[in-house]
Amino acid sequence: MKKITSMLLMLVAAVVVFTSCGEDEEPNRPVTISGIPATATIAAGGTVGPVTANISAPDGLLSLTVRKDGSALETKNFNGETSATYDFTYTAVAEDAGKNLVFEFAAADRNGDVATVTHVLTVGAEETTVRIAANITGKVTWTANKTYILGGRIFVLDGAELTIEPGTIIKGEVGSGPNATALIVARGGKIFAEGTAEKPIIFTSIADEIESGMIASPNLEPTINGLWGGLIVLGRAPGSFAGDVTEVQIEGIPASDANGRYGGNDPEDNSGIIKFISIRHGGANIGEGNEINGLTLGGVGSKTIIENVEVIANQDDGIEWFGGTVSVKNAIVWNSGDDALDTDQAWSGTLDNFIVVCGTETDHALEIDGPEGSLLGAHTLKNGTVKGSAAAELADFRDGARGTFENIYFFGFPDPATSSGRGDFSLSGDKTLATFAGGSLVFNKLEVTSPAGVALTTVFRNGTDAHAAEVAAGANTVGATKSAFAGWSWTAVAGNLDDM
């Protein structure tokens, strides 16, 4: 009996052992993740990846969850695969700058097992200075929390759009000749530089220590010029060109650069919006007697909006129009090295409400040129105040000049009789006298405060005195509305409008 009992016990034990071995044939198998580095470093706004995670799940993969600093970024579901891959890419956003970001990758299988790996991404501090060395394509935005350095002639190419936020500072590197720096909006490109009275957009030299929120430069005098190029806008509106060609190369850009062409047959061409901008210390020389203007408008069309523009200390002209149909409202030029306002090639828009403050190097406050071809467009300058200097001329109308000039006040100019003919308002040549006599050159309500004892006919020559009046200082009834420039322009902040 004992023998039978012993045999039964051995049989039961064998069954138990056999059963246990059967259960162990399919053990619980772990999930593993490989390929994710423990750490990485990128610059602010940079991208990490793609990095491939290799997932092994012998019991069948259920899901992969990616978390950033504890918050889920993505959950990807699977269908029981025993292996899978996942490509991870992350681009740092503004709030990531200067931080260590913790990413967790958690893979779960059908048995409820979870494997987790951690990746720490170090994001560099946000760039505050961005050097622009390539032409602009597509849609690009420059933001006020950065300073943009022009590293050459930078074009906004045909089809591209450049948006500049209020308060942004743009600085040109020093250069001359082919190395002169400038921002050029090519035909078909658009600029949306919409500053505000509280936050103007400032174009200046890399030598300027100005920062967003400032109006006056902390280190450059408002007489220093030629440190970089300027702002050039080119369009497809018509102009009057020699030989009646439809397009030409803009001055200041080498003829070898086809992006410098302007002109066409679309008077309503649109190059964008420019508001509340200040352009300073420009006019770099690119060749003998060939400098870049502060603001150059070549063939710019009437649908382009330009308002509240300031040009300070430009080695060449402050603002120059070459054909086109664009109108400008509220413009101020201080310390131009050549002419403050220069019009050419039958520009046919309107300049309304302008101030000129001549510097010691200013040649003409106004230089008005006529058409070069058969197109006889004419423009209008109205509601302006012009403050002279010891060697500047009020205005020079030349080459068959055409247009209407009204409600303009001049003061601060020298006696033409004692300043080698400076300080006068003159018509140059028979062609211009003919346009004046024929009614294509119109003057209306011009006022001047001349030095004591100077006759009106000495200042306003060639019969233009018939449309002018002598007034006492401060007694003018025409001129600019200077309040349009208060607060946002350096000219106003420096006190140059106090006697107007």
Final residue in a domain of this structure, among 123, 143, 168 = 123
Nearest to 413 by CA among 444, 383, 458: 458
Q: Quote the longest CA-to-CA distance of the chain.
A: 152
Question: Could you give the CA distance from residue 319 to residue 311 in angstroms, rounded to a whole number?
Answer: 7
Give the pLDDT score at 385.
Answer: 98
Q: Which residues have C-beta within 8 Å of that of residue 134, sequence separation ≥ 6?
A: 154
Written as one letter, the residue type at 211 is E
Give the pLDDT score at 179.
Answer: 82
Question: What range defines the domain where residue 221 resides?
Answer: 129-493
Domain count, the chain: 2
Give the pLDDT score at 408.
Answer: 98
Question: Could you give the CA distance from residue 43 to residue 383 in angstroms, rounded to a whole number?
Answer: 51
Give the pLDDT score at 26.
Answer: 62
Mean pLDDT (the chain, rounded) = 93
User: Within a domain: residue 258?
Assistant: yes
Per the omega criterion (within 30 degrees of 0), is the bond before 50 cis? yes
As given in the structure block, the two tokens for residue 71 are 């918050």
% of the chain residues with pLDDT over 70: 94
Give the pLDDT score at 288.
Answer: 60
Question: For the purposes of burial, counting CB atoms within 10 Å of the CB of 68, is it exposed (0-12), middle (13-18) or buried (19 or more)?
Answer: middle
Lowest mean pLDDT among 69-83, 245-259, 475-489: 245-259
**394 and 475 part of one domain:** yes
Q: Is the pLDDT of residue 4 over 50?
A: no
Would you say 347 and 377 are in contact if contact means Cβ atoms under 8 Å apart? yes
Q: Is the pLDDT of residue 19 over 70?
A: no
Q: What is the tens place of the pLDDT at every residue in 183-221?
A: 999 999 999 999 999 999 999 999 999 999 999 999 999
Q: What is the tens place of the pLDDT at every residue in 467-485?
A: 999 999 999 999 999 999 9
Nearest to 414 by CA among 456, 459, 478, 361: 459
Question: Could you give the CA distance from residue 80 to residue 137 in angstroms, rounded to a whole number?
Answer: 46
Report the length, in residues, of the chain.
Answer: 500
**205 and 289 part of one domain:** yes
Give the pLDDT score at 27.
Answer: 77
Greater confidence (5 vs 354) lies with 354
Question: Could you give the CA distance from residue 382 to residue 377 in angstroms, rounded to a whole number?
Answer: 17
Give the pLDDT score at 3.
Answer: 42
User: Within a domain: residue 395?
Assistant: yes
Nearest to 109 by CA among 74, 59, 75: 59
Give the pLDDT score at 311.
Answer: 98
Would you say 500 and 474 are in contact if contact means Cβ atoms under 8 Å apart? no
Q: Is the pLDDT of residue 354 over 90?
A: yes
Residue 408 DSSP SS3: strand
Final residue in a domain of this structure, among 91, 123, 155 = 123
Question: For the purposes of burial, counting CB atoms within 10 Å of the CB of 162, is it exposed (0-12), middle (13-18) or buried (19 or more)?
Answer: buried
Q: What is the mean pLDDT of residues 252-279?
A: 94
Q: Which residues have C-beta within 8 Å of that of residue 139, sequence separation ≥ 6?
A: 160, 161, 163
**322 and 353 part of one domain:** yes
Q: Is the pLDDT of residue 442 over 50?
A: yes
pLDDT level of residue 20 (50, 70, 90 thresholds): very low
- Provide φ and ψ at 372, rounded to 5°: -100, -15
Q: What is the mean pLDDT of residues 306-313?
A: 98
User: Within a domain: residue 234?
Assistant: yes
Give the pLDDT score at 285.
Answer: 82
Q: Is the pLDDT of residue 22 over 80?
A: no
Q: Express the helix, strand and coil content of the chain in percent, nearest 5 each.
A: 10, 40, 45
Would you say 64 and 36 are in contact if contact means Cβ atoms under 8 Å apart? no
**210 and 97 part of one domain:** no
Question: Could you give the CA distance from residue 12 to residue 348 in angstroms, rounded to a whole number?
Answer: 111
User: Within a domain: residue 498?
Assistant: no
Give the pLDDT score at 176.
Answer: 79
Give me the residues paired with residue 405 across strands. 381, 443
Measured between alpha carbons, how far apart are the two ends of the chain, in Å?
132
The structure tokens 């009992």 sit at 5
User: Within a domain: residue 273?
Assistant: yes
**118 and 137 part of one domain:** no
Q: What is the mean pLDDT of residues 14-32?
A: 58
Q: What is the tens place of the pLDDT at every residue in 181-192?
A: 999 999 999 999
Q: Is the pLDDT of residue 136 over 90?
A: yes
**187 and 99 part of one domain:** no
pLDDT level of residue 286 (50, 70, 90 thresholds): confident
Q: Is the pLDDT of residue 447 over 70?
A: yes
Q: Which residues have C-beta within 8 Å of that of residue 9, sequence separation ≥ 6?
A: none
Pairing of strands 61-68, 100-109: antiparallel
Written as one letter, the residue type at 90 is Y
Q: What is the CATH number of the domain that holds 66?
A: 2.60.40.10
Give me the residues paired with residue 182 across strands. 153
**143 and 42 part of one domain:** no
The structure tokens 């990095």 sit at 51
Give the pLDDT score at 255.
Answer: 83
Q: What is the tens place of the pLDDT at every residue in 371-394?
A: 999 999 999 999 999 999 998 999
**90 and 146 part of one domain:** no
pLDDT level of residue 10 (50, 70, 90 thresholds): very low
* Torsion over CA: 188, 283, 416, 411 (sign): positive
User: Within a domain: residue 14?
Assistant: no
If one counts every other C-beta atom within 10 angstroms of the C-beta of residue 10, the result is 10
% of the chain residues with pLDDT over 90: 87
**137 and 116 part of one domain:** no
Q: Which residues have C-beta within 8 Å of that of residue 5, sequence separation ≥ 6?
A: none
Residue 120 DSSP SS3: strand
Q: What is the tens place of the pLDDT at every residue in 161-188?
A: 999 999 999 999 998 777 889 999 999 9
Q: Is the pLDDT of residue 13 over 50?
A: no
As given in the structure block, the two tokens for residue 471 are 């007034």
**136 and 278 part of one domain:** yes
User: Within a domain: residue 27?
Assistant: no
C-alpha 446, offset from chain centre: 36
Give the pLDDT score at 177.
Answer: 78
pLDDT level of residue 11 (50, 70, 90 thresholds): very low
Q: Is the pLDDT of residue 53 over 60?
A: yes
How many CA atoms does the CB half-sphere of 15 hold within 13 Å?
A: 6
Q: What is the CA radius of gyration of the chain?
A: 36
Residue 53 DSSP SS3: strand
Q: Is the pLDDT of residue 6 over 80?
A: no
Question: For the purposes of burial, counting CB atoms within 10 Å of the CB of 193, is it exposed (0-12), middle (13-18) or buried (19 or more)?
Answer: buried
Q: Is the pLDDT of residue 410 over 90?
A: yes
Would you say 434 and 400 are in contact if contact means Cβ atoms under 8 Å apart? yes
User: Within a domain: residue 15?
Assistant: no
**229 and 103 part of one domain:** no
Question: Could you give the CA distance from residue 485 to residue 308 in angstroms, rounded to a whole number?
Answer: 7
Give the pLDDT score at 14.
Answer: 38
Final residue in a domain of this structure, among 73, 94, 123 = 123
**142 and 242 part of one domain:** yes
Phi-psi region of 420 (alpha: psi -120 to 50; beta: other; left: phi over 0): left
